[in-house]
Structure 1
Amino acid sequence: MSDNLQRGALPIPDLAYTGTVTYDATDPDTHYPPIQPIRPPAGAPNVLVVLIDDTGFGASSAFGGPVETPNFERVAAAGLKYTRFHTTALCSPTRAALLSGRNHHTVGMGGITEIATSAPGYSSVRPNSCAPLAETLKLNGYNTAQFGKCHEVPVWQASAIGPFDAWPSPGNGFEYFYGFIGGETNQWYPAIYENTTPVEPWGTPDEGYHFMADMADKAIAWTREQKTLAPEVPSFTYFAPGATHAPHHVPAEWADKYKGKFDQGWDEVRKETFARQLELGVVPADAVLTARSPGIPSWDEMSDLIKPALARQMEVYAGFLAYTDHHVGRLLDAYEELGILDDTLVYVIIGDNGASAEGSMHGTTNEGFTINHMNEIETEQYVADHIDELGTPSSYNHYAVGWAHAMDTPYQWTKQVASHWGGTRNGTIVSWPNGGVEKGGIRNQFSHVIDVAPTVLEAAGIPEPSTVHGVTQRPYEGTPMNYTFADAEAEERHVTQYFEMFGNRAIFHKDWTAVAKHKDPWLASSHGLDDDVWELYNVDEDWTQSTDLAAAEPERLAHLQQLFLIQAARFNVLPLDTRSAERFNPDIAGRPQLISGDTQTFYPGMKRLSENSTINIKNKSWTVTAKATVPDAGADGVLIAQGGAYGGWSFYTTGGALAFAYNLLGIAVDVVRSDGAVAAGSHELRAHFAYDGGGLGKGGTVTLFAGDEKIGEGRVQRTLPFQFTFDETVDIGCDLASPVSPDYGATGNAFTGTLDWVRIDLGDDDHSHLIDDEHKLQVAMLKQ
């Protein structure tokens, strides 16, 4: 597949013409070679990488799970199941490693972007010496596109003004991007970007909108256009749904397919899944089903009151994964209709980490309860009473920890726990019918997410570049998997791999792993790193890490601990960082801040501004002022809104009156209205919130003004101390996505007068210093 192009230095240099130059173009000696567009080597395949979110090894039917995923199995029938493929235990790091071919600390993503520090392994900034795979493919002639979740953009760059160096397009090498930037999104009301421009969904949930279907539509449309306009150009498509990350949003008919399928509880589901895994051969016949991880309750410990809601949580999750599989199938159908599926290297990576244990012990109808430390409101009775809302636009739901553990069958632990396979082992499927990949086989060689990029380059016949845009490149740290495509017995080549996340750490070397779990996913760090207990497993004889041999093999354990430190030093893992408070103070952590100060002015047309890009009004007094003109006929509509139906506030006019609404997690909406309609003319309309003080999340008095005239007053009984929502935004002149107030709908709520500007001014009574530092870490972790 080689050619004469010098592909080692990218971009491929334009070579000057060195032949005869004539005076007259009609001279017979006039000759110039035709323009030759840069193309990949002959035979380079299309590449489709599908990365599912927050899905454990034991969820999909392709690997013995209880959720039917016929399209994942369709890819497996055309290719190979990899039973020992690994991720980093967390989303941002896995994605950064996947798209760079380097370990996550090498590319600065030792954690999520929200807790970045200035240490090289934790900065969330990919060095320009580690050019992403998409950039390398693009510069070699591929067309490139990304759909769905990103969560690789440093928080101080995650706004509509960039810079866009770390955005999918243009910074990460994708020519087209359609998706969301943060760790999760509301599937019914998503915060979408097209390239670097915020765009709105085509409809509402009532009109049939769901982001999973929308992103599949966009990917299909892009693929059809690309093959119509440039059929000879191979494509690289990265398809990364927000599914199955919380919120678990799915049309009810998909969840209803699983009614009654999980009434037996998570302990029995683990046993049933393990039996199917043995039958499928995705674990060996002598594998052991590990015991329930400490701290996770048994099904029998759960109360009868809440068990129906717990079962429904899993029905909704199963429907969500099945729905996701369905839309992946639609994309595969489009490839087949275009006649390109057999010429496409397909990766289906079923999870960027283990299943998520971030939904509390009894699950939640709204993650806002957990993120705002208000779990006492969401009692078991509350969860039971709201069972019918799970998965619908009226919820922001997540399942209980026990289900996460069951979805990681047969392994210990879950997402975040990089020490054990439950956090890092994800079932992966690879097919390429015309590329020599065996059909319907199983591969047990060790592999890691950093292996994907070198595998793609080897399949395309493209060398790793030595320089990109003039910068000398750090070599890929992954191992190409191509050697396994046709040989099930090929000797394993990826023989050493470290793992680390929040102090949870491990080292794999040949037939052994040494592991140290530092913290549970639902708890903060409570002790020093040197107090961690190391475990030792023979992975050749103990597939599931069920028997700890540390006491029997102390010398081997010591050798592996030493090897971990060597790898940690080599790949920027050191210094290990389990801090919480310091990482949330940008000045101490050493990361830039996008917004600072005590005032911020907004203008009409500004929208989809995240909480990271707007001033923080929580736990203090503050004032919002809008310069607006009310026409003679009066005005209705939103002046400014933050958040949505699951939590937020809005300043608006309704029926001609001025109003302020505060939404407490969808449980209660306090609305203060003016005594009468606002008169026609130009006004500075103002709402002053006087915080009660005395701690976090307290209430306050709202006073409404038109100019200096007081026109209304009322109470907000309680406020949100930490975060309004995960992805709903500040919008000026309207309230996009779900509505904060019941006074208006999700659409048609734009202000009908003339709006000049809106300003927020903060008071000097900030109580944020009272926030528990460990809870700040929990807040950040729920975002990824």
Structure 2
Amino acid sequence: MTAFRTLPALHGASLAALVAVLLAAPSEAQESDYQVPVNRRDLPIAAPWQPAIETLDARDAKAPPVFEVKAPKGAPNVVVIMIDDLGFGGTSAFGGVTKTPTFDRLARNGLMYNQFHSTALCSPTRQALLTGRNHHSVNMGSITEIATSFPGQTGKLPESCAKLPETLRLNGYSTAHFGKCHEVAAWEISPSGPLTRWPTLSGFDKFYGFLGGETNQWSPAIYDGVTPVDNPAKGDPNYHFMNDMTTQAINWVRSQQSLTPDKPFFVYFVPGATHAPHHVPKSYIEKHEGDFDEGWDVIRKRIYENQKRLGVIPKGTELADKPKDIKDWDSLTADEKKLFARQADVFAAFLDMTDTEIGRLVSAIEELGELDNTLIVFIAGDNGTSAEGGMIGMYNEMTYFNGVDETVPDMLEKYDEWGGPSTYPHMAAGWAVCFDSPFTWTKQVPANYGGTRQGTVVHWPARIKAKGELRDQWHHVIDIAPTILEAAGLPQPRTVNGVGQRPMEGVSMVYSFDDAEAADRHLVQYFEIMGNRGLYYDGWFAGTVHMFPWAPPRNTFENDVWELYHVAEDFSMANNLASKHPEKLEELKEMFLTEALKYKVLPLDDRRQLRVNAKLAGRPTLMGDRKSLTVYEGLGFLPENDFIDTKNTSFEIVAEIDNTASDAGGVIVSQGGRFGGWSLYVHQGKPVYTYNFLGLESYSVTSDTGLPEGKSTIKLAFEYDGKNGDGQPKLGAGGTATLSIDGKQVGTAKVDKTQFAIWSADETANVGLDRETSVSTDYDEESSKFKGKIEKVTISLK
């Protein structure tokens, strides 16, 4: 302890801090930037202790160096790119029939991983990637909108599992997130917060994107940090969010490098593409017209043959059978073939656009001279391709959630508009199976590699000398965070912001960079999504498909039938060995239960639709048990989970307004948009209430008389026809809408049917205007702004 003899007396806290710094292990320290070792295990990094200065005059004293947190010398920039809802056979580098030149370019100059895995669903994959822990460990057992109160399923990130960007930021990186954020608890997306789990308060310096599972690419609900972006299109008829988010990312990287060129950056670039809605400009669609006329069986076989030719699947790999529910293409009608081929054309166009925009970002980094020392991890999909479009696809994806069956003839009427702003489309499940070749299953099914196997590229020319080589080590999305930390020369932190940290559960992939023959290090991994479950163990995989993506559960959990595959020899899981090796199957089933207990997987929960209802699921809501909500002008951008729910009940809307404008008009209060919602507004001087049923039908009641000048009270009363013949509640029934002004009835109309489950995945509720798309064709977003004053609006449930 002789080092302390020349120091002045210290208080206990200061002494303890100094001891911790001086005793830090050499592996945790970097001497070059500061004159004392740096402890990177406990974040934020503490400034070195400075003895008291006894010199009176600053001119006679030597100023100590200014403390700055810097990344380790030579730490690379890092860019993580992840496409949404794209399976193993999606990119051309992994056999896909749609060219992806950006992905392929990085593959040719980097490493390709053909045994890299997701969780089979978006929120779980993303939270696992950003934390390095299993999805149940970070309470993301499913998507945020169906969270429950069970441990592992709450949707709330524990403070003991700090995100990778927070660790990087506290170690001297600039950090930014562009695109989709599906990791914020649904009831925390409001001005009331808490905002601590939003991107800019959980590690990112910059966020530009949307919160939730999807957004309308033509009219997105976007945040810049925590601030809503009003009308990001700003009247541009060619606006598309994929292009917008790329431009934002390029501008941020350029600014960051201009201002702090010695500071590495971390960019998390995660488009909403190619998740539904499949929105893409006409010019891209025209490029792919006719590409899929041969049908999903022929295209799937072609992808499989490409995969064999390219060597991304082993020789001798079989093409696994497709699910029995997927019809043979040759058995379809001419109309079905026409519609389904169009759906695939649009999906391919969306992928084409996405790869092109990612190419813009890569080129911008190259132009800055930073590409060689940028570690790019490009994951083609956060799960397998989505089969949530069902057997025939959808013009409006929200019809699925509301139990409304669309028909092929009805969708064919939208043929020329498919992918444009007047549609909110998804494709038939046969294409999902096709693009997940050579596997059987799709998104939502972690019991099969079709739901979890993602073509992945790692590109880092300054460090990885191999070019275009394949790596077949088995890895999982939880391995990304430890890989980046090792590449940056950073340890996993013990504490972050004063909270002890749960160790990361993934393993670094760096060992595989220079050695194609290196033995696997990720030997055990469980999988579970809504009762679909599986267990990988050192070349073997056991799993059970408890529930198809398009159907309810097939069995009770106890009666589920498990399958067994020797995946070390059977790449595509084509040969079920359960009957040949029952003892091995039982071993893996027992291992699954062990892992399930370890990582908070139990109890299993397959209540897919019921969990949409917060009360049944047991998660918090902003409204709680309130029957009334009063809102004021300016409040808005509220997602469905954070607004009063008027579905399946009678209700009243009472608006107190002051009409002083000669051209009175605009929205008083609205919820939803073009593909489902309602709006109370003033049009041509008269109050109007419009109920838009899934963009399929619209019902309106218009006042017989105009608004009086000055103050008045507008009331909309909705009487719900909510009883069956036996007196039991009925979901999605119609009702009668009645308008009154200052207590006098001025109009009434019948609403034949209502949406019972969900308005929209991304449209919001607003007072004084209608954001995103418009509920009614009587106005657009700009003209929806109310001319006059809204004192308050009260919505009451009966």
Q: Is TM-score (shorter-chain normalized) higher than 0.5?
A: yes
Task: Tell me if 1:485 matches 2:519.
Answer: no
Q: Which residue of 2 aligns with 1:313?
A: 343
CA displacement at 1:187 relative to structure 2: 0.5
**Per the alignment, do residues 178 and 473 of structure 1 end up closer, same or farther by CA in structure 2, a change over 3 Å counting?**
same
Q: Which residue of 2 aligns with 1:685?
A: 714
CA displacement at 1:430 relative to structure 2: 0.6
Task: Tell me if 1:182 matches 2:217.
Answer: no
Q: Which moved more, 1:118-127 or 1:730-739?
A: 118-127
Q: Secondary structure at the match of 1:576?
A: coil
Q: Secondary structure at the match of 2:470?
A: strand
CA displacement at 1:700 relative to structure 2: 1.9
User: TM-score, normalised on structure 1?
Assistant: 0.95
Q: Which residue of 1 aligns with 2:99?
A: 68
Structure 1 residue corresponding to 2:169, chosen from 132, 138, 142? 138
Task: Tell me if 1:399 matches 2:422.
Answer: no
Q: Is the 8 A contact 2:650 2:718 kept in 1?
A: yes
Structure 1 residue corresponding to 2:444, chosen from 394, 416, 432? 416
Q: Which residue of 2 aligns with 1:18?
A: 51
Report the residue type matching 2:646 in the other structure.
I
Q: Which residue of 2 aligns with 1:779?
A: none
Q: Which residue of 2 aligns with 1:198?
A: 228
- For the residues of structure 1 that align with 2:786 and 2:213, how far apart are their CA atoms? 31
Report the residue type matching 2:602 in the other structure.
L
CA displacement at 1:676 relative to structure 2: 2.4
- For the residues of structure 2 that align with 1:727 and 1:585, how far apart are their CA atoms? 17
Structure 1 residue corresponding to 2:546, chosen from 505, 515, 518? 518
CA displacement at 1:48 relative to structure 2: 0.3
Q: Secondary structure at the match of 2:58?
A: coil
- For the residues of structure 2 that align with 1:413 and 1:187, how far apart are their CA atoms? 27
CA displacement at 1:35 relative to structure 2: 0.8
**Per the alignment, do residues 415 and 320 of structure 1 end up closer, same or farther by CA in structure 2, a change over 3 Å counting?**
same
Q: Which moved more, 1:571-580 or 1:33-42?
A: 571-580
Structure 2 residue corresponding to 1:272, chosen from 280, 302, 306? 302
Q: Which moved more, 1:113-122 or 1:230-239?
A: 113-122
- For the residues of structure 2 that align with 1:743 and 1:729, how far apart are their CA atoms? 18
Q: Secondary structure at the match of 2:525?
A: strand
Task: Tell me if 1:728 matches 2:728.
Answer: no
Task: Tell me if 1:615 matches 2:648.
Answer: no
Report the residue type matching 2:81 in the other structure.
V
Q: Which residue of 2 aligns with 1:766?
A: none
Q: What CA deviation, in whole Å up to 9, does each residue of 1:497-546 have, x standing for no partner?
A: 11111111111111211111111111122421121111111112111111
Task: Tell me if 1:207 matches 2:240.
Answer: no
Q: What CA deviation, in whole Å up to 9, does each residue of 1:552-602 have, x standing for no partner?
A: 111111211122121111111122222457745645644222113111111
Q: Secondary structure at the match of 1:683?
A: strand
Q: Is the 8 A contact 1:512 1:540 kept in 2?
A: yes
Q: Is the 8 A contact 1:658 1:678 kept in 2?
A: yes
- For the residues of structure 1 that align with 2:313 and 2:108, how far apart are their CA atoms? 18
**Per the alignment, do residues 101 and 604 of structure 1 end up closer, same or farther by CA in structure 2, a change over 3 Å counting?**
same
Structure 2 residue corresponding to 1:708, chosen from 724, 743, 759? 743
Q: Which moved more, 1:702-711 or 1:476-485?
A: 702-711
- For the residues of structure 1 that align with 2:333 and 2:713, how far apart are their CA atoms? 54
Aligned pairs (5 A) from 1:451-466 = 451-466=479-494
Count of matched residue positions in the alignment of Structure 1 and Structure 2: 758
Q: Secondary structure at the match of 1:355?
A: coil
Q: Which residue of 2 aligns with 1:446?
A: 474
- For the residues of structure 1 that align with 2:301 and 2:234, how far apart are their CA atoms? 40
Q: Which residue of 2 aligns with 1:578?
A: 606
Q: Which residue of 1 aligns with 2:155?
A: 124
Task: Tell me if 1:467 matches 2:495.
Answer: yes
Q: What CA deviation, in whole Å up to 9, does each residue of 1:373-431 have, x standing for no partner?
A: 111xx212112222112100000000000001001000110000001000000001110
- For the residues of structure 1 that align with 2:481 and 2:137, how far apart are their CA atoms? 15
Q: Is the 8 A contact 1:431 1:437 kept in 2?
A: no
CA displacement at 1:160 relative to structure 2: 2.5
Percent of residue pairs bearing the same amino acid type: 48
CA displacement at 1:634 relative to structure 2: 4.3
CA displacement at 1:301 relative to structure 2: 2.8
Task: Tell me if 1:254 matches 2:284.
Answer: yes
Task: Tell me if 1:111 matches 2:120.
Answer: no
Report the residue type matching 1:293 in the other structure.
P
Q: Is the 8 A contact 1:188 1:205 kept in 2?
A: no
Q: What CA deviation, in whole Å up to 9, does each residue of 1:223-254 have, x standing for no partner?
A: 11111111110011100100000000000110
Q: What CA deviation, in whole Å up to 9, does each residue of 1:341-387 have, x standing for no partner?
A: 11100011000000101001011111122111111xx2121122221
User: TM-score, normalised on structure 2?
Assistant: 0.93
CA displacement at 1:679 relative to structure 2: 1.4
Q: Which moved more, 1:709-718 or 1:217-226?
A: 709-718
Q: Which residue of 1 aligns with 2:656?
A: 627
- For the residues of structure 2 that align with 1:177 and 1:484, how far apart are their CA atoms? 32
Structure 2 residue corresponding to 1:153, chosen from 153, 168, 184? 184
Q: Is the 8 A contact 1:634 1:679 kept in 2?
A: no
Q: Is the 8 A contact 2:120 2:382 kept in 1?
A: yes
What stretches of structure 2 of length at least 5 have no aligned partner?
1-26, 31-36, 724-729
Q: CA RMSD of the aligned region, Å?
A: 1.5
- For the residues of structure 2 that align with 1:224 and 1:74, how far apart are their CA atoms? 22
Report the residue type matching 1:177 in the other structure.
F
Aligned pairs (5 A) from 1:228-239 = 228-239=258-269
- For the residues of structure 1 that align with 2:192 and 2:355, how far apart are their CA atoms? 35
CA displacement at 1:437 relative to structure 2: 4.7
Q: Which residue of 2 aligns with 1:221?
A: 251
**Per the alignment, do residues 587 and 726 of structure 1 end up closer, same or farther by CA in structure 2, a change over 3 Å counting?**
closer
- For the residues of structure 2 that align with 1:717 and 1:465, how far apart are their CA atoms? 58
Task: Tell me if 1:531 matches 2:559.
Answer: yes
- For the residues of structure 2 that align with 1:206 and 1:723, how far apart are their CA atoms? 29
What stretches of structure 1 of length at least 5 have no aligned partner?
764-784
CA displacement at 1:21 relative to structure 2: 2.7
**Per the alignment, do residues 22 and 457 of structure 1 end up closer, same or farther by CA in structure 2, a change over 3 Å counting?**
same
- For the residues of structure 2 that align with 1:136 and 1:340, how far apart are their CA atoms? 22
**Per the alignment, do residues 552 and 430 of structure 1 end up closer, same or farther by CA in structure 2, a change over 3 Å counting?**
same
CA displacement at 1:206 relative to structure 2: 5.8
Report the residue type matching 2:77 in the other structure.
N
Report the residue type matching 1:159 in the other structure.
S
Task: Tell me if 1:282 matches 2:315.
Answer: no
Task: Tell me if 1:639 matches 2:672.
Answer: no
- For the residues of structure 2 that align with 1:205 and 1:319, how far apart are their CA atoms? 24
Q: Is the 8 A contact 1:626 1:685 kept in 2?
A: yes
- For the residues of structure 1 that align with 2:189 and 2:479, how far apart are their CA atoms? 28
- For the residues of structure 1 that align with 2:610 and 2:89, how far apart are their CA atoms? 36
Q: Which moved more, 1:378-387 or 1:356-365?
A: 378-387
Structure 1 residue corresponding to 2:408, chosen from 380, 390, 402? 380
Structure 2 residue corresponding to 1:101, chosen from 112, 125, 132? 132
Q: Is the 8 A contact 2:667 2:785 kept in 1?
A: yes
Q: Which residue of 1 aligns with 2:773?
A: 738
Q: Is the 8 A contact 2:47 2:67 kept in 1?
A: no
Structure 1 residue corresponding to 2:193, chosen from 162, 177, 184? 162
Q: What CA deviation, in whole Å up to 9, does each residue of 1:164-219 have, x standing for no partner?
A: 1211111x211111111111111111111111111124326862111111111111
Q: What CA deviation, in whole Å up to 9, does each residue of 1:312-349 have, x standing for no partner?
A: 00000000011001110111111011111111000110
**Per the alignment, do residues 432 and 93 of structure 1 end up closer, same or farther by CA in structure 2, a change over 3 Å counting?**
same
- For the residues of structure 1 that align with 2:772 and 2:556, how far apart are their CA atoms? 44
